[in-house]
Structure 1
């Protein structure tokens, strides 16, 4: 399997079976918190080996190492970070020893780190990369057949893991599997389509879905992965959890069979599954032929939550060019000082004006360009949800951008010179990017169409030679000024038509064509129309140019890129009813300071809203009016956007931080003047004993604080006695309990029972990945919240606020 995972998967012509849950099996055999499950590799290797053997006897073809949480960040909680390599190597050796006797494969399990990467959390990308790197080294030395990077919630964390395994063991295949919410996206907003394209481009041998929920709810996700992946699909869902829907082995197998028929060629189980579940699954899938991956012909670009396809019948991709410091502007002056307000606003305006991708060029002299690129990407990703094009001449600046961007970026650009082209393709393969190639070779810019076409042909041949898919290349035929050469536009159009026969996508900037002439906007847009007719796939342009947006709608319709004219009709109807989402700069000046601050909180613009709030309060306004008049109405709007699927966790966190900055300002001013703040309520938050996962709890705490509640965060793995001690102080009205693991959910019941026995005057709410409303009812909780906003609504209801 370490040679070619894909061919091995399909060699036998049958569905392969992955094993089931490890934690619950370990618990049945004596494991108990606070020990971590992975410690059993060292303290009780025979128990771990026995579980592997049970799954193999049940028909599993692949077993996972008992290393899901054995990264140094999680192991540090038990003071075991120094034993990361030992624990992982031992996990792999145990599985290897058993698997060899059965002719089975060993998957090196690498789960999430338990902390989100900045700016969503406190963990740096470099820390995440190093943690995964250390874990991967142990698994490699223990002899795994492939790495299984699983239960991923954020595509950026998954990238850190992928880069780590590529660097530690480039010869060993890797698979990436994500966990999705019931809305069909990861918690950070990535759809199955996005993660499927991303996994293929970054070099994964397969992509999958695991954990999440039962197999009955995963068919749509598997179909999304299969139709966009172009690589094999894994699917291993939950059989159940305490208080939730539980599948017996036969039910589980029947539901998982549907996933195999939907495109999954490797199926198994996650939480709650046992060898009995796997045995039924083996039996029911016996003789079923796996579906071969679909060939993906289109190009794909993506952010965390937005997918942009290019080529064939897809709309022309608009790469917004306005974030470019090569021209004098207020934005350029700000970037020189690492200030980002103007750049952030440019990203929003381009997004609202029809851009598909945002190009970033911040390469000013006399600044730290790597720092500037890193911070600019964070600002743009906060300001809008569009994919990013990274524009930098210096390789180290370009790579800095590729490291820190989320999703599938566009590299803009490299020339067709052999050495530079090979380096660009290497970077694109490593980071899962698409690549713009200029038709400039060692001889410079070719003059005739035939010469440029020959350059493009060599680009295609080089791609084939380096095993770089042609559908990841956008060739720029070059646009020269017609003021200098009257045939410049004609040459470009001829090259465009010819490139369609080379299976290479096309891109170009249009503004050069009018250089040195009057009425440039007219010439640019006219040339764009002509290029669209010649087969242009993407354009680098100014989407704020008057009339540009409707022009693109018309171009897409008239060139067959708008099926049934749906996009054009939708846009035309929007004119009639004036449903404009964007607010022009003229209209924005009319907004009063209250509305402006509300809008900035909704946008998550922490710096700007704090600045406006300070100036607002300097005029002698009552500070408390900001809470009721600005913060709460803005957060109400954020809640609506989140619940309807326009906002996801990154936007929710940004808005909460912006709101919290205003709340902190108000608190400081009120207290400095000898006043007091109205207490909306106090909530104790804790992850229960035995559970070291607190991503969800931390997010809930942040959002509650932004809504004006006081939060006492006790942390993770909190003993019952500590929760009772805090509750007895009488400050809090509500206790919020979190648990991620099915093995620690029962601790919630123990806490609730004790609180009621002692008749403490608090209500208890619970949440967590495996927790449900029915479980809350079963254990006597006063409420259950599925997410952070649900927790806010629940607290408001319980406190009757």
Structure 2
């Protein structure tokens, strides 16, 4: 089996990847509605010749013509059943062309649909869509997989799970498109991408598409600083917004900056040809890649941020409050599937300083798998912290961890051989860390040495299958101090010994005070003692301010808060207090105004606030104009400055839409109708199957009071114009992602103008620019959904006599 990391290292120079496929296929005769992947069947010689041209240009890695080869993508042409065959043929063509001169990368691109909860594609449905693609690439002889152009960490994970489910152990690399404030559209920064790729077992991590080489340099630099995996960088041949692609030599010169920043593999994406790769090969000849450095800490991650543990990092606090094992409002809310309370619990813990949120679903008589899965979705939408999946069932741990976006903590498994094996294997497969309890079928050892022996056994078992010791969080177990004088001391002795084993240590701290008065006092005193023995992480109640203050002070005294910067930031200017600012068992408050509800994406709270507004005599149109639209303006500002990303934008838009529907119902009840702000028709032009951006624009426009008619994707010009007339559209929005389909936009506009249509035309999509929009006579261009909404506001206001 190929060891890709070693193969790249032994080259001791920048390895050249090939360039774009779509433009080359068009030159070879490909035309929509045929999919590029169908060329593998109808004109295999053309595909083979493209591979050969890149090989002659100096490429040592060539990609199969399967970017859109998933079952979901191929289903648009009724070819889902041919997925394996098409991919097998593509890999075979590349394999024969390579002839041992280069490695073949099996290209796996996005499905074109957003995975739940951002969209409607279920995670396991995404996995099932990628699986026959993976199998076909394996059949055809791919050397490794290149999962590329990913904007959603969860969809990237679905592709990786398909690769692992196929069971052949072939190496894989995952590459993302970073195009907003250094993050993917869904908010993943390079640091999370590197950490996740390493945790899930990738042989490399990359950046491709979205931008040109100069704008990719900083992303490569951040990837290189974040870890040691090889970095793949293959940008577009310039920026579409600049109106033209870079010529081969300028492209190669700009890519030299990628090598300097730390890229190991460099190639080209959209707008690049064999001539670009030939120039690149000449320019980078003899340049050695910048080596990466391993990150010694353990990394847990959400979609958007990382939490570090160990190696001098501050104590990692795992918030324990989402635990319905005891009767109370939280349990009742979870049984009723009322996720607002769960989300608020997560927010309270995040605001109080938790680094990770633990989610338990152990309610008797309830489906624990379904309960934890739904709670995970709720919490992921409320906070940006990594998650801890809390169950003693390894099957639940693996099933939930498959789809969590990021690097979760699996809490927990025992040292019983079968349970331990399943838990460690689940962590390895899903890219997770795991809590190991020092107990087996004989129970909890009575001496520290016995607990340490179990910890060492677990660490060795993990290493045997490839799970690093730092991904194990060993819990030496805390028994109630009131039940035995030796209990606390045994736990502390065990903690001291764990530092030499190389795992991380974790404790559920509240067990120590069970049955004693002033439990918070016992808990925080024991925490201080445990930190002095090297405790890395604690499962505790973050709303216990005294305990959190103890942890902050302990970090300073243990040298885990350099310069006491975190401590000073927390407490400078605050009066010290021994009384918690939060009651330790406080119930979350759900009273929030409409603006806050929309900003948080809390649909139920937004509806409640809207009803309160109307109940107090507010006018339905005032609800929209004076409350919803200003809130959406703030959402737009946060999106543009990089504080919000696609998940928050979609949640806020959905909450706003719910309030707009409420206002409409109120008007209808009074015998009136809601006047829309205008009718907008949206369509992806003929030959282009990409509609993700269009769908986001539709949601944002609907939330702002527009009637939106979605004509779909791959829509011929005639059908777009017929729909615009039929729907009396005030404005037509055209979308295209592929460079080969943007000219269809000009056809739509010229035909519309020739017919004397008065509606406005605007453009959007990665392959479109403001210069191009002006060139073909469009009324405007928008680079994202928020810009599109503001452009629509401005154009329709002008049409109605506004400024």
Establish whether TM, by shorter chain, passes 0.5: yes
Q: Which whole-Å deviations, capped at 9, do the CAs of 1:119-152 have from their partners, x for residues lacking one? A: 1111111211111001111111111111111111
In structure 2, the residue matched to 1:524 is 523
Return the alpha-carbon distance in structure 1 between the equivalents of residues 588 and 281 of structure 2: 65
Return the alpha-carbon distance in structure 1 between the equivalents of residues 622 and 464 of structure 2: 65
- Residue 730 of structure 1: CA displacement? 7.4
- Residue 212 of structure 1: CA displacement? 1.7
- Residue 46 of structure 1: CA displacement? 0.7
3-state SS of 1:668 partner: helix
- Residue 590 of structure 1: CA displacement? 11
Q: Which whole-Å deviations, capped at 9, do the CAs of 1:89-144 have from their partners, x for residues lacking one? A: 111111111111x5211111110000001111111112111110011111111111
1:189 pairs, out of 187, 190, 198, with 187
2:711 pairs with 1:719: no
3-state SS of 2:673 partner: coil
Distance 1:678 1:478, change over 3 A: same
Q: How does 1:161-200 map to 2 (within 5 A)?
A: 161-200=159-198
Return the alpha-carbon distance in structure 1 between the equivalents of residues 740 and 572 of structure 2: 54
Q: How does 1:53-132 map to 2 (within 5 A)?
A: 53-100=52-99, 103-132=101-130
TM-score scaled to structure 2, two decimals? Answer: 0.94
Deviates more, 1:439-448 or 1:238-247: 238-247
Distance 1:190 1:590, change over 3 A: closer
In structure 2, the residue matched to 1:135 is 133
Q: Is the Cα–Cα contact under 8 Å of residues 638 and 652 in structure 1 kept in the other structure?
A: yes
- Residue 735 of structure 1: CA displacement? 1.6
Return the alpha-carbon distance in structure 2 between the equivalents of residues 773 and 567 of structure 1: 45
In structure 2, the residue matched to 1:780 is 777
Q: Which whole-Å deviations, capped at 9, do the CAs of 1:4-23 have from their partners, x for residues lacking one? A: 11111222322211100000
- Residue 729 of structure 1: CA displacement? 4.8
In structure 2, the residue matched to 1:510 is 509
Aligned length, in residue pairs: 792
Return the alpha-carbon distance in structure 2 between the equivalents of residues 771 and 494 of structure 1: 64
2:646 pairs with 1:649: yes
Return the alpha-carbon distance in structure 1 between the equivalents of residues 168 and 598 of structure 2: 44
TM-score scaled to structure 1, two decimals? Answer: 0.95
Distance 1:761 1:319, change over 3 A: same
Return the alpha-carbon distance in structure 2 between the equivalents of residues 719 and 514 of structure 1: 70
Q: Which whole-Å deviations, capped at 9, do the CAs of 1:39-58 have from their partners, x for residues lacking one? A: 11111111111111100000
Distance 1:675 1:584, change over 3 A: farther
Return the alpha-carbon distance in structure 2 between the equivalents of residues 617 and 182 of structure 1: 38
In structure 2, the residue matched to 1:702 is 699
Return the alpha-carbon distance in structure 2 between the equivalents of residues 649 and 553 of structure 1: 34
- Residue 575 of structure 1: CA displacement? 4.5
In structure 1, the residue matched to 2:629 is 632
Distance 1:399 1:463, change over 3 A: closer
Return the alpha-carbon distance in structure 1 between the equivalents of residues 14 and 508 of structure 2: 48
In structure 2, the residue matched to 1:737 is 734
2:593 pairs, out of 596, 605, 617, with 596
Q: Is the Cα–Cα contact under 8 Å of residues 241 and 742 in structure 1 kept in the other structure?
A: no
Structure 1 unmatched ranges of 5 or more: 577-581
- Residue 549 of structure 1: CA displacement? 4.0
- Residue 615 of structure 1: CA displacement? 5.9
2:670 pairs, out of 669, 673, 684, with 673
- Residue 401 of structure 1: CA displacement? 1.6
Q: Which whole-Å deviations, capped at 9, do the CAs of 1:545-591 have from their partners, x for residues lacking one? A: 13344443333333222233332333335749xxxxx9999999999
- Residue 740 of structure 1: CA displacement? 0.7
Structure 2 unmatched ranges of 5 or more: 576-580
In structure 1, the residue matched to 2:578 is none
- Residue 173 of structure 1: CA displacement? 1.2
Q: Is the Cα–Cα contact under 8 Å of residues 212 and 239 in structure 2 kept in the other structure?
A: no
In structure 2, the residue matched to 1:471 is 470
Distance 1:173 1:608, change over 3 A: same
In structure 2, the residue matched to 1:579 is none
Return the alpha-carbon distance in structure 2 between the equivalents of residues 403 and 144 of structure 1: 25
Q: Is the Cα–Cα contact under 8 Å of residues 727 and 760 in structure 1 kept in the other structure?
A: no
- Residue 245 of structure 1: CA displacement? 4.9
Return the alpha-carbon distance in structure 1 between the equivalents of residues 304 and 574 of structure 2: 27
Deviates more, 1:780-789 or 1:30-39: 780-789
Q: How does 1:215-364 map to 2 (within 5 A)?
A: 215-240=213-238, 244-364=243-363
- Residue 253 of structure 1: CA displacement? 1.2
Distance 1:120 1:590, change over 3 A: closer
- Residue 641 of structure 1: CA displacement? 2.6
Distance 1:789 1:547, change over 3 A: farther
In structure 2, the residue matched to 1:22 is 21
In structure 2, the residue matched to 1:768 is 765
Return the alpha-carbon distance in structure 1 between the equivalents of residues 498 and 771 of structure 2: 59
Return the alpha-carbon distance in structure 2 between the equivalents of residues 459 and 143 of structure 1: 37
- Residue 697 of structure 1: CA displacement? 0.3
- Residue 283 of structure 1: CA displacement? 1.2
- Residue 532 of structure 1: CA displacement? 2.2
3-state SS of 2:106 partner: strand
RMSD, aligned CA:
2.3
